[in-house]
Homo-oligomer: A and B are copies of this chain.
């Protein structure tokens, strides 16, 4: 998976895996890998800053929790985030339609 291709779609991915249940960063990375059948292996240096950015933007709410001695920051979708996810889904459809119409023109 070419890394640059993900640019601009990271937000949609993160919001989407958090749609069903709150997760912490590490679990998000695993969820992305599993849901994509291994195609998406996003490095921590991408995910953690992105989560912070989305939290600052009000799309996610983060909270520290403890599992034994380990600390986790669990993120959940806010209402704003849920709306943003709907927008991201719609944008994704427009995007694939536009690129697809160029890459695979009707013959």
Q: A92-B99, A102-B40 are in contact. Are A4 and B8 (CB under 8 A)?
A: yes
What CA separation (Å) do A35 and B102 show in the bound complex? Answer: 6
Chain A residues touching B, range: 35 or more
Question: How many copies of this protein are present in the complex?
Answer: 2
Residue of B nearest to A89 (CB): B103
Q: Which residues of B contact A8 (CB under 8 A)?
A: 2-7
A32 at the B interface (CB under 8 A):
yes
A94 vs B1: C-alpha distance in the bound complex, in angstroms?
8
- Asked if A74 CB lies within 8 Å of chain B CBs, one says no
Chain A residues close to B by CB (< 8 Å):
1-9, 12-13, 16-17, 32, 35-37, 39-40, 88-89, 91-92, 94-105
Could you jot down 17 A-B contacts, CB within 8 Å? A1-B98, A2-B91, A5-B95, A7-B7, A13-B99, A16-B102, A36-B102, A37-B98, A37-B101, A39-B94, A39-B101, A40-B99, A40-B102, A88-B103, A92-B99, A92-B100, A96-B96
